[in-house]
């Protein structure tokens, strides 16, 4: 009976956490380099706590991460070392587990807090709306009381109407086993599109505050830890680094960043480094520091593919003994939440894969070409203006993820486009002028950047990960191509499969899994689609200029460069009664992609 139970546990756990998740594919793994102080880092998780249910490389879930963290703590304890967990924000927007509930986050906040996190901060997505920023104040900050840091964010207390810090500005603590004295800060980049119930103070001003100056002058410190929803290669982290170094020229500093959705590692000097750990729970970052108090501390990093094969390897455990009781219970809660939200409800079945950045644009495999040539012409029409042609403009960053061959579910709609982002329009714009706006948005980025209010240009119109890359085609991966359950899984010798092939400031050996590279193609800031309802439309004909609401400041600026004299605040109006992007997707898929 005992052997049968072990076999059953092994078989069940090997199929990954969520019942519909594919099993991981064995691949060559690089070991972790442990130190006396170690960190696990997540960022830009965007609600993906159920893991990637169509991608074996990232098929573990938040319950598995809870088990992994516990097993890693046990390894650290056995060696007298310390392990700290970090999260650097953007926990919401991007997955049905957050976006499909009413109110949003009804399940996510409770699930996220199941993991013990030692240092946590806000991302920009937490601050776009009043309800999400107040949820941070009323739910997430108390859930991680004493560990949530907000060095440059204030919020209006909804109970008193007073401006207060979202959370403590910094924290000083001593690690349990090594007694390492740490002062930690938690920043957000110079974000300006937050709702008006919050204030994000520019980093350059924050570091001049008395509290910050006093904190960096504390002599009783071995290490500064700066967490932030900030790219590790950014002016904000550079400002913080220089300010600390102006006072503490030799104290080690470890930065943890995010926002750009990439794996990255930055070196500021021999005792200061920064780690960014990807997006969407594709990655758990690992960083170790050995001999923190010495004249030459050793820093090491790894980007761990978020699947059970990797998690078992790094803990030295197998399927029967890896899961913890708390981890398994969290996995069960995730499954229950997904069922309650009906996230597996299928609207249709995609006949093939469509890619954001892994296929060139335009091409038949590009999700943007599909939107431009099929979805918008068929679905983007206002019944009150059905006889008026329209030129629709959307920013490519409004689409967040690829489409995989197979079921297109309720979850897929939020994964692709989670934003409560309506369409607006301005009537009577000559088609040639409307097209010129798109040219400006796509081909005059320097002019646009110089004209936008600082730092509005920090918000990329294209997908976030594109901000970090130059050139047209990069042999670098943003996603992993093995995804659908029909793929054959090899159970014998590990093999090299396509995936992340990160090159950073420490070299090309950061990924824990050895992958073969895939191509990354740049896409324009915006795409356009002529919705002509079967009419012939010439360049001189007036059309409705339709655009997604988020990009209105950019469209208004492009209009000035194009000679279009429009007051967008007064002359624009809501299109299609406030229909959202994901509602258009559901409408089109339901009609055109039937399941066999």
% of the chain surpassing 70 pLDDT? 90
> Contact at 8 Å (CB) between 369 and 356?
no
- Check whether the bond before 502 is cis (ω within 30° of 0): no
Residue 535: per-residue pLDDT = 86
Query: In the structure, what pLDDT confidence band is assigned to residue 13 with cuts at 50, 70 and 90?
Result: very low
Residue 470: predicted pLDDT: 47
Burial of 565 per CB tally in 10 Å (0-12, 13-18, 19+): exposed
What is the three-class DSSP state of 2? helix
Q: Residue 235: helix, strand or coil by DSSP?
A: helix
Q: What is the pLDDT of residues 134-155, one digit of tens each?
A: 999 999 999 999 999 999 999 9
* Confidence bin at 452 (pLDDT 50/70/90): low
Taking 80 as the threshold, does the pLDDT of residue 10 lie above it? no
Question: pLDDT band for position 483 (50/70/90)?
Answer: very low
Q: For residues 467 and 528, give the distance between their C-alpha atoms in angstroms, rounded to a whole number.
A: 21
Count of other CB atoms within 10 angstroms of residue 583: 14
> By percentage, how much of the chain surpasses pLDDT 90?
85
Residue 436 is classified by DSSP as H
Other CB atoms within a 10 A radius of the CB of residue 30 amount to 16
How does residue 491 score in pLDDT terms, banded at 50, 70 and 90?
very low
pLDDT of amino acid 448: 61
Burial of 595 by CB count in 10 Å (0-12 exposed, 13-18 middle, 19+ buried)? Answer: exposed
pTM of the model: 0.92
Decide which of 465 and 181 is more confident. Answer: 181
Instruction: Tell me the angle at which helices 325-340 and 62-78 cross, rounded to the nearest 10 degrees.
Output: 170
Q: How far is CA 511 from CA 53, 263, 313, 477, 503, in A?
A: 21, 9, 14, 12, 9
The whole-chain average pLDDT of the chain stands at 91
- For the chain, the first-to-last Cα distance in angstroms comes to 42
Please check whether residue 227 is in contact with residue 86, taking contact to mean a CB–CB distance below 8 angstroms: yes
Residue 223's H or E segment, with its range, is strand 223-229
pLDDT on residue 219 = 95
On the CB side of 415, CA atoms within 13 Å amount to: 22
Dist. CA 486–CA 353, nearest whole Å: 13
What does the pLDDT look like over 50-60, one tens digit per residue?
Answer: 999 999 999 99
Tell me the domains of the chain and their CATH numbers: 2-340 (3.60.21.10), 346-472+522-592 (3.90.780.10)
| pLDDT band per the 50, 70, 90 thresholds, residue 463 | confident
Helix, strand, coil percent values for the chain (each to nearest 5): 30, 25, 45
Give 140's DSSP letter: I
């Amino acid at each position: 009976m005992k052997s049968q139970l072990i076999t059953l546990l092994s078989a069940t756990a090997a199929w990954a956490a969520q019942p519909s998740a594919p099993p991981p594919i064995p691949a060559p793994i690089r070991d972790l380099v442990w130190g006396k102080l170690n960190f696990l880092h997540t960022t830009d998780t965007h609600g993906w706590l159920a893991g990637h249910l169509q991608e074996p490389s990232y098929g573990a879930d938040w319950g598995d991460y809870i088990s992994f963290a516990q097993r890693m703590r046990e390894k650290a304890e056995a060696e007298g070392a310390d392990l700290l967990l970090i999260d650097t924000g953007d926990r919401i927007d991007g997955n049905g587990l957050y976006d499909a509930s009413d109110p949003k986050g009804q399940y996510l906040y409770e699930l996220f807090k199941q993991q013990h996190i030692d240092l946590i901060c806000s991302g920009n997505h937490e601050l776009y709306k009043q309800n999400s920023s107040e949820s941070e104040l009323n739910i997430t900050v108390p859930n991680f009381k004493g560990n949530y840091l907000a060095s440059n964010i204030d919020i209006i207390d909804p109970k008193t109407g007073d401006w207060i810090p979202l959370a403590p500005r910094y924290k000083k603590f001593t690690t349990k086993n090594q007694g390492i004295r740490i002062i930690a800060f938690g920043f957000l980049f110079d974000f300006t599109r937050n709702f008006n119930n919050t204030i994000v103070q520019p980093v350059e001003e924050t570091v001049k505050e008395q509290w910050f100056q006093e904190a960096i002058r504390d002599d009783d410190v071995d290490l500064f830890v700066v967490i932030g929803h900030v790219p590790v290669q950014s002016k904000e982290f550079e400002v913080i680094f220089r300010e600390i170094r102006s006072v503490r020229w030799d104290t080690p500093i470890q930065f943890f960043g995010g926002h750009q959705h990439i794996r990255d590692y930055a070196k500021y000097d021999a005792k200061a480094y920064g780690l960014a750990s990807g997006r969407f729970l594709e990655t758990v970052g690992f960083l170790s520091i050995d001999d923190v108090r010495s004249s030459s501390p050793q820093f090491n990093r790894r980007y761990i593919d978020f699947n059970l094969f990797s998690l078992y390897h790094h803990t030295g455990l197998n399927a029967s003994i890896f899961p913890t009781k708390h981890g398994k219970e969290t996995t069960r809660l995730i499954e229950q939440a997904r069922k309650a939200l009906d996230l597996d409800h299928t609207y249709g079945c995609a006949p093939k894969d469509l890619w954001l950045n892994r296929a060139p644009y335009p091409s038949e495999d590009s999700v943007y070409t599909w939107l431009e040539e099929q979805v918008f012409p068929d679905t983007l029409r206002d019944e009150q203006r059905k006889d008026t042609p329209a030129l629709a403009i959307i920013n490519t960053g409004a689409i967040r993820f690829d489409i995989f061959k197979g079921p297109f579910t309720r979850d897929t709609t939020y994964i692709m486009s989670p934003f409560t982002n309506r369409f607006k329009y301005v009537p009577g714009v000559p088609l040639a002028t409307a097209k010129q706006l798109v040219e400006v948005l796509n081909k005059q980025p320097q002019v646009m950047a110089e004209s936008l209010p600082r730092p509005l240009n920090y918000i990329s119109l294209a997908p976030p990960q594109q901000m970090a890359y130059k050139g047209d085609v990069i042999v670098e991966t943003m996603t992993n191509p093995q995804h659908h359950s029909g793929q054959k899984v090899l159970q014998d010798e590990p093999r090299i499969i396509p995936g992340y092939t990160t090159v950073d400031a420490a070299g090309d050996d950061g990924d824990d899994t050895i992958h073969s590279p895939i191509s990354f193609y740049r896409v324009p800031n915006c795409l356009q689609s002529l919705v002509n309802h079967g009419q012939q439309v010439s360049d001189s004909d007036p059309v409705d200029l339709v655009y997604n609401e988020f990009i209105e400041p950019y469209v208004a600026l492009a209009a000035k460069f194009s000679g279009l004299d429009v007051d967008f605040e007064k002359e624009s109006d809501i299109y299609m009664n406030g229909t959202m992007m994901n509602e258009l997707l559901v409408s089109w898929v339901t009609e055109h992609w039937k399941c066999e």
